[in-house]
Structure 1
């Protein structure tokens, strides 16, 4: 059968099939998204065969899709090693320890925002931050008489800022992989929208803090964590050198892989010097992750993390997602889906707004954070290239619209997790999670004004 361009309804079958399978799997059975994504690839493959493509061509599309993400897969793997080694070295514990020192009663909400930001930046995970430090801060907020939804909003805003801006985060690596840029370029470009948003959020929480933070501060939980960290690790400002070096590399536009690798080496050296760790302990932490055994549940949950193996969840999901996107792109299904939408997008601003709106819609229809990055990313990639827009504009829009809005949807996996951990529904804390809904608005404004929207350098 001669191959032809797919019709809209045929391409829609691929997307609708993925939506149905993913929705049933995640919502009804609480399953991981990997197998549903593979099944979605199978549906897309069947549609491609119907249109007239042979298996070899479809397989080539999958391989090409995965190839686009190989750099990010390598970076994710090294980051897993980095986290394990940095915890073993006391780097992450030192960052958390000094983060707690900024807490005071009148600026509790601002302090909660900053502590969760620092913790997520250090660990690359919002869930881990909320599930450990966030629980402690909720207890302190309750003692201050701060409404629980307000405290939860500050905690979530900080956790998602750190998650979004940390090169250690899986979503921060997934977005540039889908868009076709590198993680450091992506992080630097996000500073324009997320940085402005963060300043606005700081002001809002500072004002709210003076309104609510008039009670007596109870430091017992914080002191317990700090004492536990001191008992298990040697804490020193010198242990902040590795993250400062990596941040400097980002600022100097150094390549991601050697920069992160250098951070691993510095962490290994400090682990040997300050924590008296031998080579076997360092290698084990790099591969399997660090296992904390202090006896404190909060500390052990926070610091049992990292390792190359811990990144295999994100690596395998990235591979599965890029297979799906590769089939849609190679067989023309992506083009068929986007034609009706793109006809109505007359400017760069409308394209960016459509991208962010699609991410939000995906978070509601396919309630999984990763999917809100992958599906819109693959759908709009060609449109950005045709307009001469640098891929970092797409990767920023994916994070501004996908990563941080997932937690605002009660039935999304992120919203459900926060409800189970903090005991507050997304409906209640949503209005107070300022960063999570102001950031997309700022990004759309940037898109329509053209501010920081960069074109591809033809040279």
Structure 2
């Protein structure tokens, strides 16, 4: 159907809509308290504020710009359609996470990851442990809110300043969030940009790989200050004992992640690759003696810890030892540590399942509806035209995307919007850019969205990511910001690589074949 576009919005009108939408969303999701006692924001989930902003944008488009309602409705549908593959992948990932936890895959990764700890390399180990956990779960929030809290306690015992520990915890957590095929943002960015999941991940290695090496070097250098400290391993021992009491901990647990990585390297599409990893883990659970109903239940609604959850609710050390039935015997003085660790592990491992992804899917769909309306009504086009007037190079495009993502994280306060809004705004410009008969591969846009939108969200105090991590780690956002090296170095590395022409992916003019990255 040919869309009846009505008149083209003026720049002032488009800017007005953007500002009002930003106010609606920021007031809905933020919770800022001023010294005077005044507050700003309702601290809501972004779902309803996004919906209200979408209604406002549609009303302006219909009554002031002259769009037909059926065209606005079609724009909403088109906006959702672009992410349907990501939605399917996210639902499958929910089942995979439930299966990986139940079969002992995630506990195995955490168990062996904790063995990396040593005083001299505590910061480096914190970076690597959080990277491993976040890669295996696809969630930076779960990583920083569970293992991150444990590392904060260990760091305090070593005399490491809390902001320093928090910075490396967040760097590792967001590395995994950015690179894991299980992460919602890693799936959303290529869906918005028109790329595919595993091409997107491979493209990110050009910028995030060097950045991680730089941050690892910084961690090793700074860790030298604590080389004389002694590590109290009691907490680590309790974590490992608790996990080995409930799960089958063995190196076989590395097989499902290895399978997913091998299939990704072989360029198997994401959905069958993730499904294979899920089915292998489910088969491992059956082999361990888990009932078929429990396996299917974990795929549907996620894993619910049994023994660990009971320990977390125990009244005394006697009840704990009775639950463990002699497998591990804890002394009375360790009760508080055991209970705290059990509660932490219960929070980390009680997740996954198809239904566990529904809230994330709903948020993505509403954000895409808003983006579709803005595009159909022409607001995005007008804003993009004004922004693009001075952009004449690939470096300019990448710089404009990074700036827009940072702006969105600051003024809209949500990580998903920082991917969806700039992604939809800049996708036409990336598709139309030509140089020497070649066009830009869509994975350059998806990579840049993650280099900036995903990583800088946690650096903004009033952003949902910044507020969450500050709360769970007990460190103000602006205090840990200087030490969250990966989060602000990665956009700079991306700009440098683009300026040097390194790792810039091209396709021929018709898009039928990929040219070598320069």
| Partner of residue 162, structure 2 | 148
1:410 CA displacement: 1.4
| Partner of residue 47, structure 1 | 60
| Partner of residue 267, structure 1 | 281
Would you say 1:298 and 2:311 are equivalent positions? no
Mapped to 2, the partners of 1:3 and 1:45 lie a distance apart of 14
Would you say 1:161 and 2:164 are equivalent positions? no
- C-alpha deviations, 1:345-368, integer Å up to 9, x for none? 111101101101111111111111
Aligned pair partner of 2:373 in 327, 331, 349: 327
- C-alpha deviations, 1:18-39, integer Å up to 9, x for none? 1011111011111011111112
| Partner of residue 20, structure 1 | 23
SS in 2 for 1:181: coil
**Within 5 A, what are the aligned runs for 1:60-209?**
60-209=74-223
| Partner of residue 453, structure 1 | 504
Would you say 1:360 and 2:406 are equivalent positions? yes
1:2 CA displacement: 8.0
- C-alpha deviations, 1:106-158, integer Å up to 9, x for none? 10000000000000011111111111111111111111111111111111111
| Partner of residue 318, structure 1 | 364
1:331 CA displacement: 2.8
Would you say 1:425 and 2:495 are equivalent positions? no
- C-alpha deviations, 1:267-291, integer Å up to 9, x for none? 11111113x2111111111111101
- C-alpha deviations, 1:310-359, integer Å up to 9, x for none? 11111111111111111222232211111111011111101101101111
| Partner of residue 236, structure 2 | 222
Tell which deviates more after alignment, 209-218 or 348-357.
209-218
TM-score between the two structures when normalised by the length of structure 1: 0.98
Mapped to 2, the partners of 1:446 and 1:43 lie a distance apart of 40
Indicate if the aligned counterparts of 1:85 and 1:282 stay in contact, CA closer than 8 A. yes
Mapped to 2, the partners of 1:186 and 1:90 lie a distance apart of 28
Mapped to 2, the partners of 1:215 and 1:235 lie a distance apart of 30
1:448 CA displacement: 1.9
Structure 1: gaps spanning 5 or more residues = none
| Partner of residue 4, structure 1 | 7
Mapped to 1, the partners of 2:230 and 2:112 lie a distance apart of 22
Mapped to 2, the partners of 1:120 and 1:253 lie a distance apart of 22
Aligned pair partner of 2:263 in 241, 244, 249: 249
Runs of 4+ in structure 1 over 4 Å off: none
Question: Are residues 2 and 209 of structure 1, via their aligned partners in 2, closer, same or farther at CA, if it must alter by over 3 Å?
Answer: closer
Structure 2: gaps spanning 5 or more residues = 31-40, 312-341, 434-438, 513-518
Structure with the bigger percentage of helix: 1
1:245 CA displacement: 0.5
TM-score between the two structures when normalised by the length of structure 2: 0.87
| Partner of residue 435, structure 1 | 486
SS in 2 for 1:456: strand
Mapped to 2, the partners of 1:397 and 1:147 lie a distance apart of 32
Tell which deviates more after alignment, 2-11 or 65-74.
2-11
| Partner of residue 44, structure 2 | 31
Aligned pair partner of 2:300 in 281, 287, 303: 287
SS in 1 for 2:146: helix
Indicate if the aligned counterparts of 1:22 and 1:366 stay in contact, CA closer than 8 A. yes
Kindly report the root-mean-square deviation, in angstroms, between the aligned alpha carbons of the 2 structures: 1.3
Indicate if the aligned counterparts of 1:6 and 1:336 stay in contact, CA closer than 8 A. yes
| Partner of residue 373, structure 1 | 419
- C-alpha deviations, 1:197-228, integer Å up to 9, x for none? 00101100000001234211011111111101
